[in-house]
Structure formats: C-alpha cells, structure tokens
Structure 1
Amino acid sequence: MEQEKYAIIDIGSNTIRLVIYTRDKSGRFTESENVKAVARLRSYLNEDNVLEQEGIDILVKTLKSFQEVTRHHQLKSIKCVATAAVRQAENQATILTTVEDETDFSIRILSEYEEAYYGYLAVVNSTPFTSGITVDIGGGSTEITYFKDRQLIYFYSFPFGVLSLKEQFIQEDTPKKGEMRELRSFLKEQFDQLEWLADKRLPLIGIGGSARNMAQIHQEYIEYPFSGVHQYMMNKDDVEEVYDLLNSRDFSELQGLEGLSKDRADIIIPAVEVFRYLMEMIDTKQFALSRKGLRDGVFYEEMTKSFDLTVFPNVIEESFQELAIDYDINLTHAFHVTNSALLISKALEAIGLLSLEEQDYKRLRLSSALYNLGSYIDSESSHQHTFYLLSNRTIEGLLHKERVIIALMASFKNRGNFKRNVALYEKWFTKDELAKYTLLGAIIKMAYSLNATKRDIVEKIELEQQEDVLVFSVQCREDWKPEQYQVEKQKKHLEKQLKQSVEFRFYK
C-alpha cells in the first residue's frame, strides 16, 4: 500500500533542509527523511541587502539536489518556505523567479510574524509548557515569543542572527574578550526594547540548530544516560558550564567537540551568549530545548486545516492516542486497570498509608493505561520491553525525568527489576521518590491482576485496616476466580512495599 508523504523545504540563512514526513499506522506523520545542506546564504547578502549571484547559484544547486530526492519519493505535496536571508533580500523577486524557473519548487517567504508564530505553535503542540518564552536564533534573524496559557501573547523578530552577529562582532573563528563585551552590549541594547520580556521568570525554550547543539554538547559533557534532545532541560549553571567549556577551547578543538556540528563551530559561542543574556533578562533558571521548530509549526498548521484547530487541546492525550494505536493497547482494559489503580490508591490514602499530589495521580493514570505495553513485542519479557520502549521513545508532553518515572511504573514487575531499570537514573531521584514510584508500580500491577481476563468485572474496591492486616473488599459482577488466582500470586509485591499483610476478599 502506498504511504502518504508530505515534505517541507526550509530555506534558512545558515542551512537549507528538506524534511519528508510519512504517515504511520496511528495516523500521525513522522520524519522519514531529513536532509541538510549548509549554504550560509546570509553571507552572500551584500551591504545593499542584495543576495549576490553566488548565493543564488548555491540556493538553486541545493534545491536541485533536493529535487532528486523529492522526485524519487514521487512527492506532490511540498511546502518550500524561506526566512530572513530571502526576506531581507532586495532582489527577492529575482530569487523567486529563478527558483521557480529552474526547479520544481515555488518559495513562500515567511513574514517575521509567521516565523515567530510557527516556532510557538511547534512548542505548544509538542512540549508540556503552558507558558514560556521561546527563542529561535537562526543565521539572519532571531524570533522571540511570549505565550501564556498556551496562547501567543507577544512576538518580536530581530534582524540579526548568529551569522550576522559573527560578521559584525567577531573577526576570527573564535571571539576575543573585548569582542564578547561589545556583543553583550549590543544584545542588551536590542533585547531591552522588549518591556514584556523582563523578569517573566518563565522557562526559556530554545528552538533551532544552535540551541540543539548547546543541549547536545551538555549531554555529551555530563555523559547523559538518555537518548534524544527534545524537551531536554538545563539550568542556568548548566548553560554557564557549556559557555565556559566552549571558551576554553581553540577553534580546532571546537570543531572536534562532541555534540557540536563542525559547521557551527565558529557561531556557537555568540549563540550561547544570546541564551545566557535572555535567561538573565527573563530571570529564569530553566532552559528547555524543543527539537520541534518552524518546519513543524508549518506542518501542524497544514495538517489541522480541516479541523480549524492549530493548538492541540492536550499534548499528553495526543501522545497517548499515538501509543495506543502503535502498540495495539486495549483501551477498555486500560480504562479498567486505571480505575482499579485509582481506587486502591485513594483507599490507601484514606487510611494514611499513601500521600499523592495531583502530579502523582496524572502519572498513575498514564502508567496504568500503558502497563504491560511491551507485550506487543513479546509477552514473556513484556516488562523489559515496556521500560525500553517508554524510556527511549520521544513522548511529546513528557520531560525526560517524567518519561523515566512513567516507564518505571508501567514496567513494574518486582523490586529487583525496578532497581535494575532505575540504575542509570538513580541520581535523578530521592529515596522517598523511588519508594513512592515502587509502591505505585506495585499498585498498578495489582490493578492489572484484577482485570487478568480482560472481562472488566471489578465494580468497587474498599479497604479496611483489621489489626495488622489490610483487607481489600472487591465487588465483582461475575465469577472472579481467575482474577483471585492472579491477585494471590502477585500481592506479595504490594505487601513488601506497604510492610503489611494484605488480604483480598471478593464478593458479588
């Protein structure tokens, strides 16, 4: 069966990129091809803001190479968008005509607002942040947005980016101290114009290649045990650490630095200086990386046209629906497991054996619905597969630490298995947190046992403390013997965590 495909070409001031999305069985589009060319078109804008012929030739040559790919994939739906380098060019009409005459593509030049808006749209549809400041520093422009309650409040596009900052302030491959002082003074003068930016105390969310490279450098430097950079969090000290690391290297060392693309070695320091200054101005200690950016924003808008809805109501729910389809989750069964887990947890809370916050209940609901997801691959080692899948797949709306918590709870088999899974991430948690997640994992496992035959027979669960025994009374609407067998087999995990004997009594 022929797969549905969709492509976007993003003509930036530093790089030109072709991304092909393919619709998977869950109905979502995922990246299947990602081709990049470092063109540095901004370098070919002369003093009169005319893109010189050499720059136009590089653009056309790059698009012709992309054309080979799009023709091979027989793509008909291709969006070709351009940002600052073409937008700022006085001869943009010539550029558009030349591209249209010599390639398969027609360029749409994005306005400053559109470029900022698409970055914001990508962030609110793929991260858990409801309010924040986004920064997308490209080669020739820098877009800043402020969103609150997932709605865009303010935006601004500055006509400078990492390439123009490098050209204006840094003469050689790496900056001198005096040059950095001048650059910082310039950034203060520019960003201080935005009164709505100061002291917001919200996360700064970085979009684009420079932000991604900073995150990758930090992950390599600290030997981060997790794969992927989307939704990666850094604090102010982490950003300072990367800045110091970059400034301690000469240019040849920068080119070989793990996590840094060689073609960004000469522009990464001014980019990080932008992030440092903005964090200081916003008065935030949080920097988050969104791997989703302008291209994804264009894509979201295109894909949601028929729904008249560009901002998803709930990012986590969207992600869960994708997981449910990808791994054939029985939604009715998942609902009943979740319900039983909630009933057990609330009963334990009522007698003071458990204390959960709102965030814990959200985790409990999601982990219960995803419990034993790994059986899609192999039933015998389903717990192992569940942990691997959930901890290694990007789940939009879940930060990295949160993803590990969900993976630990949804894959709970026994305490030993839990300890092995958490070993790489143990420093992320306190002992009390780990004890709580182990107990919640045992509760979910018990809730799963109560629906062992997937007949959804449990109607009510009540708890009573009788001397040194916890007695759960479980009302069922049908014969419960298979469920009872599983419960008796698995209740030891709950007993170990509660440090009490547990008894389950079934009745109709």
Structure 2
Amino acid sequence: MKGKYGIIDIGSNTMRLVIYKRDKSGRLKEVENVKSVARLRNYLNHDEYLSENGVHKLITTLSSFRAITDFHQLEEVKCVATATIRQATNREVIQEMVQRETGFSMTILSEYEEAYFGYLAVVNTTPFTEGITIDIGGGSTEITYFKDRELVEYHSFPFGALSLKKQFVKNELPTQSEKEEIHHFIRSQFDSLHWIKNKMLPIIGIGGSARNMVQIDQAMKNYPLAGLHLYEMPPEDIRLLGIYVNSLPLDKLLKLEGLSKDRAELMLPALMVFDELASITKAPSFILSRKGLREGVFYESMKIHPTKAFDVLTGSFDDLTKDYEINMEEVKQVTRILMCMVDELNRLNVLAVNEQERMELKRAANVFQLGDYIDAESSSQHTFYLLANRTIDGLMHKERLKLALMASFKNKTVFKQYANPFRKWFAEEELRVLRLYGAMLKFSYSLNATKRNVVDNVEVTQEADGLLFHIKTRMQSDAEEYQAERQKKHLEKLMKHPIHLRFY
C-alpha cells in the first residue's frame, strides 16, 4: 500500500469518510476526515424498514463523499455499514441502490465483524494484553473480552446512544423517570453477560461517544498534554461527569467544551452505559483508544492479526526511528555505555535501577534529542514537545511524559521548566530520578561526541574522594573527554558524589 486509501463508515448516528496515506515509516496517516450527521437510525420505522427519506439521506451523503474520493484519486475505498443498515429489512435493496447510484460497494458488517474490528484495532495500538472493549454506536453497542491479545468473547447489543434516546426519551433531554428506565434497561442487558461480571480489568472505549467523554474530561481538568489515544480515567470520574452533564440544561450542554453539538442529546445515555459497565465489571480504569473500527478494517485487509509475540511499543519506536531518521548505530553504542554505567553504579549500591527502569532508560536512549531532526540549536525543546504530545501506541500518557522528560534533558533549569505543568503527576522523588536518568543519558551521549564509537568500556570504583569512572577507549578521545568533563556536574549534584574521570 503506497498511495491513498479511503474508508466510509456508515453508522447509525454519523457517516464518515476518512482518507489515509502511507507515511515514510509505513504507518497509515489520516489526511482527511469528513463527517456527516445523517442519524439514519431515526429513519428506521417500527418494522425495521429504512424509509425512503432515510435511503435518500444515505445516497445523497455517499454521493458527496464520491466527489471527494474522485478528487483524491484513491487506490481503494472501503465502504462499510453497521447496525442501522444491518437491522434494516430492506438492506439488500439499499445495497443495490448504493452500488447503482454511487458506485460504492457497501459491505454490511455482521455483529461479530463490527466487534472484531474494534478489538483488532485495540490490541494492535495499545499495551493491553487483557481487557474489555466497548464501542457505543448510534444503534448498537459492541463489547469484547480479550486475553493474551486473543479474542475470547464478544457480544453486540441492539441498542446505542441514539436508539436509547429514541426508545426512552420524549424530549431533548431525559426526565428523572426516563433516566431510571434507561438505567434499569442497561443493567438488565449487561446482567445477561456472565463473562463481564467482576472482571476487574481495564475498559478500553472506542468510537465517538467515548472520544467525546474524554474530550469533556480533558477540558474540565485543563489537561496539559495533547492527544486522546490512551487517555485514562478512573471510573469515579465517569460517574462525576455524568452528574455534571445531567445538571446542565440543553443550551449549556450545547456549549460544553469538548462535546460535539450533534452528540449533546446523546451524551447522557452514553455516559450511563460507560458507568454501568465500569460498575458491573469493577474496572480499575477506563482508557480511550483513538483507533477503532475503521483501523481494524484496514488491519484485516492487510492481514495484520494479533500474535502473542507482537510488541506494540517496539513498532512505535520503529516508526519514530524512521520518521526522525535516528542513527541506530549511535543509539546502540550509547545504550551500551549507559547500561555499563547502570550495572557499575548498581553494583556499588550508588543506584538501584530495576528492570522496568532499565527498559525506560533504553527507550529514552533510542530517542534522546530527536529534536535535532528539526533544529539542533533548540533540540531539547523540540524533543520534549514531540515526545510529550505525539501519540505513541503502547505508552500511556504518564509514560510518554516520563520518556519526554528523560530524552530532552539539557540541564536542571530546563528540566524544571518542562516538568512544572505536570508537578501533580509526580512525587518529588520521581522527578529527581527522572532528572538523574536524563543526566545519565546526556553523559552517555557525551562519551560518543564524535560518533566514532570511541569508548570501549566503562567501569566505576568507589574512592575516598568520590567515584572514579575508568573509561577505556579505542582511539584518541579528546572531544569525548572535554564533553564528559562538562556534563559530569549534573550527575555529581544528583548522586551526591564527586566524580573523577580517567580515560585510558
């Protein structure tokens, strides 16, 4: 796949055309996203027949999408439909009309396919090997349970945010009695699934309702990082958000930051579904996956299926390496020096770096000062911004921030400047350790200043007047000696030991 590819997602509430293009790392990058609030569910009558007006709305919208896909000269367009078209008794006629009137071959996804594609996107873009996914659409809600990255259970409920409103709510917003009816209905539906009860696993939400909930939460908390993918909420915050949304009249709800106007009337039913699922599963957290059904359709077409051995994070770092043209030979040399230092300082009980921290250090070494790609003079600032605000599949937001703080280390003043908006995220000791690891990274890079792999080995001994670093070199190392002498002061302050360097 080298050109542009499109997917049309015909949902019960919205219809969306998304165009992707392969970037140089091989990822599918979204370049266009066109949305139409068709609300096809409202055109489905009591006999499950999509009315003539509904079919007209569908065809008209698809025709507008056709003009866009023709302009972009896409190599392939996939057109998929979910609950409303699936449930329509005249679906075969609709399929024929879509093909004849627009030229699109519309695939009607089964309940299993809709659930499976969402799960497929989650296990290929998040760090979770076990969890529960939920996708609340307009006319259906898909839930899956996966373990060891394999799909174990799935279920598609024939209700969604739009159909709940249509079934239970007479006016724009539900009354107290209508809310109680919705609550009891959702509870009775979830009670039928024995395999979700008391699972105590993270819930991974996909789709527009989950995305809007997270956007509102971020706006209310003045969240300092960019990005929605892998944003985490404690279940109690879902309940508090539901109480707040429930307290707003429609005019204020329409102005609520983070909430799309076309979802204003549907937000409360969706929040009730999320809250009920978190309660019945006893979930420790709710996480948003920005990747869902559409990405899952592409993964399936590219035959990207989950395997136990696949590491999402490794794939993300491969992408970073290609996108920012990182020199992996230099990374290997610096990482080797860094791990020599870690082993020696651990041996002397100067540090106590555990396996998890070793892995985090190696990751930071992989992307240390990648901002050089943009501008060497302001490399630190670019490094911090890019890593802190870029979606990195496999890293939660706090992990992403830790990576950014270590990989952008320049000095104490700049580190504090970057960390200041996030002080509530970390204890003081956590910040001290991150600063220390950043200083160790910078020192390790100074020992390869000329990028000639000069340093062969590093040993450390405890002397009466401090730590003595024995640095064995393969060739003349004047530049490395100069840079290391300049950088050691950061380590001395944080480790509270004088450091002496001996090159030989």
Which amino acid letter does the alignment assign opposite residue 409 of structure 1? M
Which AA in structure 2 matches 1:439?
A: L
Q: Bigger shift: 468-477 or 397-406?
A: 468-477
Moved more, 270-279 or 240-249: 240-249
Q: Is it true that 1:17 corresponds to 2:29 in the alignment?
A: no
Corresponding residue of 2:476: 479
- Contact 1:125/1:311 (8 A) holds in 2: no
Match of 1:8 in 2: 7
For residues 46-101 of structure 1, the C-alpha deviation after alignment (integer angstroms, 9 at most, x for no partner) is 11111111111000000011111100001130000111011111100110000000
Query: What is the one-letter code of the residue matched to 1:193?
Result: S
Q: State the distance in 2 between where 1:373 and 1:263 align.
A: 40
Aligned twin of 2:408 = 411
1:192 positional shift: 1.0
Is 1:379 the counterpart of 2:376 in the alignment?
yes
Amino acid of the residue matched to residue 209 of structure 2?
S
Residues 204 and 286 of structure 1 are in contact (CA less than 8 Å); yes or no, is this contact kept in structure 2? Answer: yes
Aligned residue identity for 2:113: E
- Which residue of structure 1 aligns with residue 130 of structure 2? 131
Pick the aligned partner of 1:343 from 316, 331, 340.
340
1:214 aligns with 2:213: yes
Give per-residue Cα distances to partners, 1:404-442, cap 9 Å, x unaligned.
110000000011110001111111000010011000000
Residue 170 of structure 2: SS of its match in structure 1? coil
User: Does the alignment pair 1:445 with 2:472?
Assistant: no
Please tell me the residue identity of whatever aligns with 1:272: L
Query: Does the alignment pair 1:282 with 2:281?
Result: yes
Does residue 426 in structure 1 map to residue 427 in structure 2? no
Contact 1:301 1:310 (8 Å CA) reproduced: no
Q: Distance in 1 between matches of 2:314 and 2:126?
A: 12
Cα displacement (A) at 1:497 = 0.9
Give the root-mean-square deviation of aligned CA atoms: 1.5
> Among 490, 494, 498, which residue is 2:491 paired with?
494
Q: In the aligned structure 1, how far is the partner of 2:73 from the partner of 2:172?
A: 42
**1:265 counterpart SS class:** helix
Asked whether the 8 Å contact 1:446–1:491 carries over to 2, the reply is: yes
Q: Amino acid of the residue matched to residue 370 of structure 1?
A: V
Alignment of 1:188-227 (within 5 A): 188-227=187-226
Q: What amino acid does structure 2 have at the position aligned with 1:467? A: A
The reply to whether residue 292 of structure 1 matches residue 291 of structure 2 is: yes
User: What is the letter of the counterpart of residue 499 of structure 2?
Assistant: V
1:372-393 CA-to-partner distances (Å, cap 9, x unmatched) read 1001111111111111111121
1:352 shift after superposition: 1.9
**Whole-Å separation in 1 of the counterparts to 2:485 and 2:250:** 65
Structure 1: distance between partners of 2:226 and 2:305: 35
Contact 1:243/1:269, CA 8 A, preserved across alignment: yes
Q: TM-score, normalised by structure 1?
A: 0.97
How far apart, CA to CA, are the structure 2 residues paired with 1:192 and 1:456? 62
Deviations 1:8-37 (A, max 9, x none): 000011110000001112222200000000
SS where residue 489 of structure 1 aligns? helix
CA distance in 2, matches of 1:366, 1:282: 34
Aligned residues: 504
Indicate conservation of the 8 Å contact 1:216/1:260, yes or no: yes
TM-score by length of 2: 0.98
Q: Secondary structure at the match of 2:196?
A: coil
**Alpha carbons of 1:215 and 1:167: their partners in 2 closer, same or farther (altered >3 Å)?**
same
Residue identity in the other structure for 2:103: D
Select which of 322, 325, 328 maps to 1:325.
322
Q: Name the structure 2 match of 1:352.
A: 349
Partners of 1:479 and 1:154 in 2: how far apart? 62
Q: Give the aligned partner of residue 390 of structure 1.
A: 387
Q: Which residue of the partner structure matches residue 249 of structure 1?
A: 248
Letter in 1 for 2:159: F
* Letter paired with 1:331: M
Higher mean alpha-carbon deviation, 148-157 vs 343-352, is at 343-352
